[in-house]
A and B are shown apart, each in its own frame.
Chain A
Amino acid sequence: MSAREGWITFAATLAAFLMLSAIFFLLLGKPPLEMGLSLVEFAFGDAYSLSETLAKASPILFCALAVAVPGRLGLISVGAEGQLYIGAITGTALVLGFPELPPLAMIPLMLAAAALGGAAWGLVPGLLRARLDINETIVTLILNYCAVLFASALVFGPWRDPANQGWPATAPFPPAAVPPAVDGKVHLGLLIGVLLALALHVFFTRGRAAVHIRILAGNRKVGRTFGLDFAFWVTALMATGGAIAGIGGIIEVAAIQGRLQPSISLGYGLTGFLVSWLARHRPLVILPIALLVGGLLAGSDALQLFAKVPAASATILEGLLFATALAVPGLIARWRRSDGN
């Protein structure tokens, strides 16, 4: 696809999304133009809106990168949600176990614990795929339920803080475990996510490993003939993806919610999955899309408060965005084909 065609596709997708959102607002009986402008304003209009947007974009970014890493090898992992929960659990375990640690030790150790937990959760489907050729999509899907229920079991059971008077949540994190932030919700995790995306871009586009992964993704049998190790890369990339989602999980808990609760993710795993596929697993493309989707979620939250649109609007708009982004390029390609060019 040439750069010009890329821009045409982008413009057509945007136009289709705006049109469909307008229809959606009309169906709600709201003025579409006004709603659209408010949405943009609530998402990116001032410092507060922007910080809300970034706060929403952060877990989406981590989950998208967690899907993109095994995705580069042609694997379809839907396990970011579960890995995010496990990362939150193991990170929280460190915080609850060593609450007296100084900030300089606490945050790195907490992130490392979360990364290890997420990696372990990704390693399981990775090993099953590498050794026994068991479908990684199914295993990651099932492990999501295990992780979410495990987190619930902990906060309803042994980890529940008695001071909460029955509310299922752990004790609040000590200040040393809260990542530094500027302006409320713009926290250290966001910086980590962006740096990770840049590092992954370099890893997947430069050097020998990048070539090996491309060969194996394109034709596993050819890779095998010429001595490449599919089993190693499956295991390594699944675990790395898990680690990334795990870090995203503990950051969400430590920086935003302040304690582990039953529902730390608002479907970030699935949203991240869609973002990664939309970006075709390219980390540098994931960055702006995650920001855009974060803005959409934050903006529609505000719209719900101030313009009295239903709470489901965020999900619906998100769905419209993904549907158009997936459908429009296909429609354009089809139209070009039948046009005989």
Chain B
Amino acid sequence: MIMDREPLVRFEHLTRRFGELAAVSDVSLDIRAGEVLALLGENGAGKSTLMKLLYGIHPPSAGRILLDGRESPIRGPADAMRNGIGMVFQHFSLLPALSVRDNLLAAWPATPAYIGRRSKRAARVLDRLSVIAPDIDPERRVDTLSVGEQQLVELCKVVNLEARVVILDEPTSVLTPAEAQRLYDFVLRLAAEGRAVVLITHKLADVEACADRIAVMRGGMLVADFAKGERTTAETVALMMGRPAATAEPAPDRFAGRPARLVLREITASAAGHVLKGISLEIAGGEVLGIAGVAGNGQTLLAEVVAGVEAPSGGDVLLDGESIARRGDEPHATPIGYIPEQPRDNAVVETMDLSANLRLRALAAGEADGAYDVAALIRRFNIAPSEPTRRAGTLSGGNLQKLVAARELGVPRPAVLACYPTMGLDLGAVGTVYEAMFAQAAAGAAVLWISEDLDDLLARAHRIAVMRGGAIVALVENDGTLTRDRLGAFMTGAPAEAAA
């Protein structure tokens, strides 16, 4: 493969303003064929905006973009695709009611006009899918896929466009470790084929795994651009955050046995293709119980039953001895702090402002909302933009995640249920959320924490339960001897006797 020395894309002094805010400020950067460029920075650093300028979603306010050495003709996503530039967004553009295969065909330029049941030509659309996600059945409807699987389908769709430049926006934030590894391999393969890959990320793991070059952005500006290995991890983090990284990671106090506070008793339920097969757990006040597992093994349904969004078909959820499970369709307000996955869909009213969203529980209950000091919560959880009267729908995914964490963890709760509470957050915000979560435990709350990040669970949870196929397949003390591999074995189906 001949490496082209001429950059495929060159940004010259690019600036993009939104009103007063300069989201991208005087950025000059090259994107070269055959290279994986990690665009690293915290939430709101301007990474996505910079790439959206290339993709034609926003025109630049100043500066210019060169494509193959000439002024870029791109005025919108359709132009971008014609010019061989593909982008995978954090929000997907898949059609949920269609199968994976039909979704790929709908976006494929080479799709034949007539597609028979066993069309050979149409089958080629699945070639890439079998490399990047061999476990996904192409006949499955997209709405039955986990978020991680959808991400891989979306990626496959973009790669099928034969893009020369593939831009991935935070691709690993919703992937399991195994899926992420497959993605890294695939990214390296794309680069080896001579494509340019831009990986927008705030995770150092992504950079370690597959970047050739690292461009760090902060506050809309490009603060560094260097080959991997030229700087240490600590230096990179300092560049990203604008200060040296905190040394101490938040972790809960060691937990001394207290009576069970949140009790899940033989819960069975079924909804939307998922089942729970008799789940029993006891979480004591002050305890942090982690639930590990590959997404799509019933975690979402379990969370919704515990939070009273769905009614169980059998069993009960008890808080301090009282049932808090939903019965039928009677109105039911959850008494526990609840951070669901995908806050935009499940936890936020986008049409209302930040202040109302932070006070939502009180507003719904018709109570005085004195417990919620809106300004203090916004400050503590560093929600940006920070005006309390701003419509929540205008916030980025990471900031909505912070908003929900602030509402659910910012005031004392008897118990907390957190599903992937740090998804899409940068390092600073991750620390804040964990601190708040463990402060709840320290104050006596029972904390149930659903996560796919095994390292985080191993570093922080008191006990870890592993969920697979709608059941708890292992429940182990996190006593320092537990390893990633052992958990991984439970997650993928190890013999039952391996459980401690």
Interface residues of chain A, those whose CB is within 8 Å of chain B, are: 208, 211-212, 214-215, 217-219, 221-229, 231-232, 338, 340-341
Contact = CB atoms under 8 A, between A and B. Distances in A.
Interface residues of B, dominant DSSP: loop
B363 interface: yes
Nearest to B58: A340
A212 B366 CA distance: 9
Given A225-B309, A227-B331, A340-B61, A212 B349 contact: no
Contact of B365 (A217, A218, A227): A227
A52 B334 CA distance: 55
- 9 A-B pairs with the lowest CB-CB distances in the bound complex, closest first: A227-B333, A218-B349, A226-B364, A218-B351, A229-B331, A208-B366, A219-B349, A227-B331, A211-B363
Given A223-B364, A227-B365, A218 B350 contact: yes
A217 B351 contact: yes
B307 A221 contact: no
Contacts of A226: 333-334, 360-361, 364-365
B349 A214 contact: yes
B209 interface: no
B329 interface: yes
Nearest to A232: B331
A222 B366 contact: no
Contact of A221 (B59, B332, B345, B350): B345
Contacts of A340: 17, 58-59, 61
Contacts of B332: 227
A228 B308 CA distance: 12
A interface SS class: helix
Contacts of B350: 218-219
A219 B343 CA distance: 11
A226 B356 CA distance: 14
Contact of A338 (B59, B331, B347, B365): B59
Nearest to A209: B366
21 contacts: A211-B363, A212-B364, A215-B360, A219-B345, A219-B346, A221-B345, A222-B347, A222-B348, A222-B349, A225-B309, A225-B346, A226-B361, A227-B332, A227-B333, A227-B365, A228-B331, A231-B329, A232-B331, A338-B59, A340-B61, A341-B19
Contact of A215 (B58, B61, B346, B363): B363
Contacts of B351: 214, 217-218
B58 to A, nearest CB: 7
Contacts of B329: 231
B352 interface: yes
A257 to B, nearest CB: 41
B364 A228 contact: yes
Nearest to B393: A218
B490 interface: no
B366 A225 contact: no
